[in-house]
Amino acid sequence: MTPPSDIASAAATTASSNTREFAAGRGPKRGARIVIERLYPELDGGRYAIKRVVGDKLEIWADIFRDGHDVLGAAILYQPEGASRWHSAPMRFFDNDRWIGTIELTENRRYRYTIEAWTDLFASWCDRMRRKRAAQQDLTLDLPEGRALVHAAEARSGRTIAPPDAGIDALLAESVVAAMAECGPREDVTRFDRVLEIIVDRKAACFAAWYEMFPRSQGTAPGRSATFRNCIARLDDIAAMGFDTIYLPPIHPIGEKNRKGRNNNVEAQPGEPGSPYAIGSALGGHDAIHPELGTLDDFRAFVAACAARRMEVALDLAVQCAPDHPWVKEHPEWFEFRDDGSIRYAENPPKQYQDIVNVNFRTPAWPALWQAIYEIVTFWIAEGVHVFRVDNPHTKPFPFWEWLIREVQSKRPDILFLSEAFTRPKVMRNLAKLGFTQSYTYFTWRNDKHELTEYFTELTREEAREYLRPHLFTNTPDILPRFLQDGGPPAFRIRAVLGATLGGLFGIYNGFELCENRALPNSEEYADSEKYEYKVWDWDRPGNIKSLITSLNRIRRTHHAFEDWRNLEFHPCDNDRVLFYSRGNAVFVALSLDPFGPQGTTVDLPVHAMGLSESDDLRINNLLTGGTLHLVGARQRIRLDPDAPAMIFTVEKLR
C-alpha cells in the first residue's frame, strides 16, 4: 500500500503513470520531423484517466504529419498497468492528417496507452514508384533501392517477403506491401510525449438497476427494527422487479448523543431510532453493525442471499461520525473542538446536523485518518461488498478520494464507487475525473423537454462522456422532487421511464414503486421519513407501479442498446410536452411529460439512419404491451395519456 505521506505527494503518486516517462530514444527529440498532436481521447493533458468497461473497443485518433512527402506509419501502444511489454495496434490514415486506430479492452484493470509514428521507408518508395510509373518515368535506378529495403527487412525478421530478383510489379504486390508495413525499416520513430490512462471497469460500472432499502424498515412489526433476516425475505420481491443491486444506507450503530427524532426533530423521544447517518456509539463505529439489524453473520447471510438471486450489495460510505463515535475518544486529534471544549457538529447553514460531527481532514494526523478510512473500506470488501455509494464526497479533500480509490482498485479493480454529490457542476465533474466510477446528476430536477434534451446532450455528447457515468436516481431519502409531489402516480410512471431508458444506471429509493409522495410543507423532505423512525410498508398496496418497473427492467436487460449510455439520440416531434428519443436507433421511446392530461404528437422515425426508406412497410413492436402495429413511412402519429405515458418500441421492415 502506498502510504499517504502528504497530500501533495499522494496526488502526485496518483498521477505518476500519466507523467512523461520515456527512456532515451523513446520520445520527441530535438529536430524530430514527425508531429503527433490533438490526440483523443485525452483528459486534461493526461492528468486524469478516461473510463471504459471490459469488452469495449476504444477508438483513438490523432493528427500525425511531417515535412515533405514521405509516407507515415502509426500505431497505438498499450499495456495493462504494471506490464513491461507494449502491445501494438495499427492506425490508419483517415483524412487531413487524421489517423485512427482501435484497441480492445479485455481486462478489468487500468491500461496505459500512447501513440508511436514513423517514416515508412518502403511505403514511401512504393508511393514514388506509382507516381513515377504513372508519369512513364524511368525506374531503372529505383528498383535496387526497393529490393534493398526488402532484403533488409528479411534479414531482421527472418521472413521471406519477395524473390531476390523481384521486379517493380512484384514489389508493389499487396502481400509484399502488407509484410513490409509490419516489419519494414522505419525512420524518425517518434512517440507522443505523454502516456495516458484508461480505467477499465466491469460492466456494472455503467449498466445496473439499483434498489435502495432501509434495512430497519423491511419488517412487519410497528415500532421495531427489522433485521437482515427480514431483509432476506424481501429479496424475491425486489429481484422480481428486475433490480440487480441492493443499496443500503449506513448499517452501523447510531449515536445516542443529540439523536434526531421524528421528522428531523432536534430531540428524539424514547424509542426513536435516530438517523443512520449519525454513525457510531459505544456499540461500535464504521466497522460494526447495529445490533438491532443482527450480527456480522446475519449480514453475511444477507450478502449471500443477494448473490443467490444475482444481486450485489452496495453499502453507504459516509465519512462522518456521531458525537459518541469511538473515534472521538480514541482519536480526538481527528476532530474540531470549540474554545469551550465542545465538539463542532456538522452544518451547512441554514441546515444544522447536531447529531453528526465531521472528521477534520486538516488535522496534522491526517495520514492515520486516511489509513483508518481505507481500512474501513477493505473491511467491508472482505465481507462481500464490492460497491460503495459515497455520501457527500465533495465535502472531503479531492486528493484523499483520488488516493483512496486508486489504492483500493490497485488490488481490487472490480470495486465500484458512486459519488453522491449534488453540488456545483465543476466539482461533480472533478470527482468523476479523479476516480469515482459513477456520479449522481441533476436528472432528479430536470423535468421539461428542453432541459432534459440539453442536459443529456451535454452528458452524452461532450467531454464528460469520457469520464462521468450518470446514475439516474428517481428519488432519494433526502429528495422527494416537486414533480412527484404534485403529479401523483402518473408522475411516478413518467420518471420511472425516464430513469430506466435515458441512461445505463437507474435507481429508485424504496417507496417509489408505491408512489409515496407525502412531503413536509414547502420542502422536498418526505413526511414521516424513515430516516428518523421505524416504518412498516405494505409493499403491494393499491396504486403501486411495480408491474411497470418490472417491464422497464426487463426491456433494459433484453435489449443491448441500453448497455451503452452514450448512444442516446433525440428525435423530432411536434409537441413540447412529448419527448422522443432512441438508444442507438434500435429501441425508441415516445414519452409524455404531462402527468395531468393526454398528449398527442407526430414523430419522425430516423428511417435512413436505420437503413430503411420512407416507403417501407414497417412493423412496430410495442415492448411494454407486447402488441404490434403495421405502418408505412417515417412520420407517425402517437397519442399518450397519464396512465400510459410511454410507448417503447422497436421497428422492423416487413418486406
Q: Which of 116, 154, 324, 420 is catalytic?
A: 420
Residues of the chain with CATH 2.60.40.10: 32-200
User: What pLDDT shows up at residue 2?
Assistant: 60
Quick one: cell of 527?
Answer: 413526511
Is it the case that residue 62 has pLDDT exceeding 90?
A: yes
pLDDT(612) > 70: yes
Question: Which spans in 519-564 are helix H?
Answer: 546-558
Q: What are the φ and ψ backbone dihedral angles of 481, each rounded to 5 degrees?
A: -60, 150
* Res 368: pLDDT: 98
Checking if the pLDDT of 25 tops 50, the result is no
Phi and psi, residue 232, nearest 5°: -60, -35
Residue 21 pLDDT: 40
Q: Residue type at 210?
A: W
Sign of CA dihedral 30, 34, 38, 40: negative
What is the percent of the chain with per-residue pLDDT over 90, rounded to a whole number?
Answer: 91
For residue 45, count other CB atoms closer than 10 A to its CB.
9
Long-range contacts of 427-431 (CB under 8 A, 24+ apart): 427/394, 428/394, 428/468, 429/464, 429/467, 429/468, 430/398, 431/393, 431/394, 431/398, 431/401
Can you tell me the mean pLDDT for 489-511?
98
Rounded mean pLDDT, 402-417? 98
Which of 50, 62, 189, 64 is closest to 120 using CA atoms? 189
The C-alpha atoms of residue 609 and residue 613 are separated, in whole angstroms, by 9
Where exactly does CATH 3.20.20.80 map onto the chain? 202-319+365-565
Q: Which CATH number fits domain 202-319+365-565: 2.40.420.20, 3.40.190.10, 3.20.20.80, 3.30.1300.10?
A: 3.20.20.80
Question: Does residue 420 have an active-site annotation?
Answer: yes
pTM for the model stands at 0.93
Residue 564's pLDDT is what? 95
Three-class DSSP category at 273? coil
Name the band, by pLDDT with cuts 50, 70 and 90, for residue 7: very low
Of 547, 563, 537, 401, the C-alpha closest to 48 is 401
Percent of the chain exceeding pLDDT 70 equals 95
Tell me how crowded residue 317 is: count the other CB atoms within 10 A of its CB. 21
Q: Tell me, what's the pLDDT at 1? A: 64
Task: Report how far residue 139's alpha carbon sits from residue 141's, in angstroms, rounded to the nearest whole number.
Answer: 6
> CA dihedral in degrees (524, 527, 528, 531; nearest 10)?
0
Query: pLDDT digit string (tens) for 151-187?
Result: 999 999 999 999 999 999 999 999 999 999 999 999 9
Residues in Cβ contact with 472 at an 8 Å cutoff, skipping those fewer than 6 apart: 441, 443, 498, 499, 502, 503, 505, 506, 507
Tell me the C-alpha to C-alpha distance, in Å, between residue 449 and each of 5, 138, 154, 425, 640: 49, 68, 64, 21, 15
- Does the structure show a pLDDT above 50 at 13? no
Using an 8 Å Cβ cutoff, are 272 and 261 in contact? yes
Give the homologous superfamily in CATH for domain 571-653: Golgi alpha-mannosidase II (2.60.40.1180)
Alpha-carbon dihedral angle through residues 363, 366, 372, 376, given to the nearest 10 degrees: 80
Encode pLDDT of 268-290 as tens digits.
Answer: 999 999 999 999 999 999 999 99
Average pLDDT, the chain: 94
pLDDT digits (tens, 9 = 90+) for 448-479: 999 999 999 999 999 999 999 999 999 999 99
Grid cell locating 606: 430516423
One-letter identity of residue 368: A
pLDDT > 50? residue 28: no
- What pLDDT score does 385 carry? 98
CA distance 629 to 378: 54
Assigned C-alpha cell, 266: 432536534
What CATH number does domain 32-200 carry, 2.60.40.10, 3.30.1490.20, 3.30.479.10, 3.30.390.50? 2.60.40.10
Is the pLDDT assigned to residue 535 strictly greater than 80? yes
Q: Averaged over 598-621, what is the pLDDT?
A: 92
Q: Catalytic pick from 70, 355, 391, 594?
A: 391
- Position 596 scores a pLDDT of 98
Least confident of 8-12, 195-199, 225-229, 444-448: 8-12
